[in-house]
Chain A
Amino acid sequence: MRIALLLSAGRHRVSGRPAPVPVELQALRLAADLAQTHGGQSGGTVTGLHAGPEIGPLTDALGHGLGHLVHLRMPAEADPAPALTAALEAGGYDLILAGRSGQGGEDTGLLPYTLARALGRPILADAAALAPGAEAGTLSVEQALGRGARRRLVVRLPALVTVHPAAPAPLPFAFAGLRRGQVEMREAAPSAPAPHEVEERPYRPRPKLIAKAAAGASAAERLKAATVAASGGGKLLVDPAPEEAAREILAHLRALGLIAPR
């Protein structure tokens, strides 16, 4: 099975220094596990692909278990989609993995979808686990939904899958892996710079909605919404018999729908 992994130039969440994007390293782990255990007789290969002006700290991915990294060199302002599409088409990959969204660039998470469109392949979002499907040439993807729920999807390969942060943690970094891995540099064909019609300014955190009262609600309702959640304002039982306490707790949990009704 030939797997391609898309690596974007990220920035560290706290320090802002160039760094690999954590979710892409998690994708690398999924790819490495899949290639190792289910690669077939030929064994699976995982190839990293990055389109950008320089490779920088993305070589760290080699230390996290990537064997081969292809750097498609292009100017910083160029659109990476055409170069990546060409490279992915030429590579004949069965599976293409990408992160849910980058961290340090536009961070829209749109690139995998444009690539899927350009390649004419199906795309599945938010994978937390990958396994080969029951039939040959299919892949079973566990999609992370909110609150720990999952959805198991079976898709016919070739396909493109984006990975969710709920996937297992990246493989630990090994310096020997970094020394062993190879980086191959290719010049990408020049492409038009991506249109950029946004204005940028330093980030200013905006106040989040706290009170759950709606905009048109009355002042009394807004006050209630702001204060009720903060205080329990509930029921108090002092020294009940254990049986009574248990009954009360179960009834309360059922009323809230936190445990299954009887």
Chain B
Amino acid sequence: MSRPRKDPRMERAAHLVPGGARPRFDLAATPATSGRLRRDPRAEERLALVPGTLRRRLDRSQRAPAVSVVAVAAPVEAEAAPRRVVIAEPAFLVALVPDAPGGRLSAHDRQLFGAARLLADAGGGAVLALVDGSSEELGAAGADRVLALPITGYDPEAKALALNAALAALDLRHVLFPESAEGGDLARRLAALSGEPFFAGAESLSPKAVTRAARGRRVEQRRAPPRLLSLAIDAIAPHAGSLHEALPVEFAFPETTGGALLSAEFIPADPARVSLAEADFVVSAGNGVSDLDTFRMLVAALGGTPGASRMLCDAGLMPRAAQVGASGTVLEARGYFALGIAGAPQHLQGVARCEHVIAVNTDLHAAMIERAGLAIVADAQKVMPALLRLLGEEGAP
């Protein structure tokens, strides 16, 4: 694949005949080769050529067996196992408090680990995760040490008191929080409790400086990372590539007395009432849906939030608040079920952030069909009653 690279000056210098007042070269002598390799694009192409196809096709990923790989070419590592990293004697500790809803790390939590590793790895520090319950994913996420907080149920004040005790006793250089509803609340409680400087909603972070937006996003504030930090979502990439030990550590938390909260009760979202911007699963109708009563029944049966394309809202068949798209609501939903929607660019903008899209449309070439993870080319008027029937049959026994 590669042959030695030519260096004319070196070659010429190799022919120099020593001695004599003027430089003299003996070009007939055999030259010595330089060590650097030179690429041979034609040989590479020949290797990448996929045999047996009518059209000339190149496979540059080198999955095809290489015929004559030069010995010096670096061996392609096949799915190397993640590197294990053990930090036995950390120079300092960077703590983080993930939200971990339901005991599982969210994407924001993983980004928090990325940020903590960034701060810790710069000076030989270790990452300490302060969590409610233990979980196996912490090592892969990037935690060197794990400290379980003695908290049950929703009690942010008690959690802040426990964190304050840990902050005072353990030598924590930084404590990181996600700038989410729960994490942001906890960070501010701890900041007020400990009086430590606090940097809210960091949008970029390095061991030297953190930045955030202030004055209605008109100025950027910048300073060296203080002790307490909260991190905005999607600012720092999560950690990957090495496995950490996630060693449990012990700490005697002081006893806390009950806070002022008398009761806390979780109320799940009522899909029929939540606004589109907050909805998790949206079922949406377009111009291809003529039977709106069945559509409404289907939305209720699926437990989704009703949405619509602009055509239906303009026609007054659906409320304006239900319009999805550039001039309506941009969804944050996880799932989007589009019935009879063509998928105009203005509409697709509204679903750009939806992870899973399902489309039912009679037109195979509709843009919505192309966008969807499950696309069904069928009449929505027939699919909707079928769905209702199926849901009814399942609910009956």
Q: Could you tell me which A residues sit within 8 Å of B by CB distance?
A: 10-13, 16, 101, 103-110, 112-114, 116-117, 121-126, 133, 138, 142, 144-156, 159, 166, 197-204, 206, 208-209, 212-217, 229, 231-240, 242-243, 245-250, 252-253, 256, 258-260, 262
Contacts and interface: CB of A to CB of B under 8 A. Distances in A.
Contact of B191 (A105, A110, A199): A110
A11 B356 contact: no
* Most central of A106, A212, A216, A237 by chain B CB within 10 Å: A216
B302 interface: yes
B216 A16 contact: yes
Contacts of B382: 242
A252 to B, nearest CB: 5
A214 B111 CA distance: 9
Contacts of B238: 214-215
B384 to A, nearest CB: 9
A259 B302 contact: yes
Given A217-B241, A236-B376, 20 more contacts: A104-B216, A105-B215, A108-B198, A108-B200, A108-B201, A113-B192, A126-B181, A146-B180, A147-B278, A148-B270, A150-B267, A159-B260, A203-B219, A214-B110, A215-B239, A216-B240, A245-B376, A245-B378, A250-B387, A252-B373
Interface of B: 107, 110-111, 114, 154, 156-157, 180-181, 184-185, 188-189, 191-193, 197-198, 200-201, 203-204, 211, 213-223, 234-242, 259-271, 273-275, 278-281, 302-304, 332, 334-335, 337, 355-358, 360, 364, 369-379, 382-383, 385-387, 389-391, 394
A200 B219 contact: yes
A142 B274 CA distance: 14
B374 A252 contact: yes
Contacts of B204: 206
Contacts of B379: 242
B377 A239 contact: yes
Nearest to B82: A216
A249 B387 contact: yes
Contacts of A104: 215-216
A239 B364 CA distance: 10
B280 A126 contact: no
A242 B218 contact: no
Contact of A10 (B189, B216, B217, B376): B216
Given A148-B270, A256-B335, A122 B189 contact: no
Contacts of A212: 107
Contacts of A252: 358, 373-374
A248 B241 CA distance: 37
A122 B111 CA distance: 31
B377 A237 contact: yes
B204 to A, nearest CB: 5
Contact of A242 (B239, B273, B372, B383): B383
A148 to B, nearest CB: 3
The 4 residue pairs across chains A and B that have the minimum distance between CB atoms: A216-B241, A148-B274, A214-B240, A122-B260
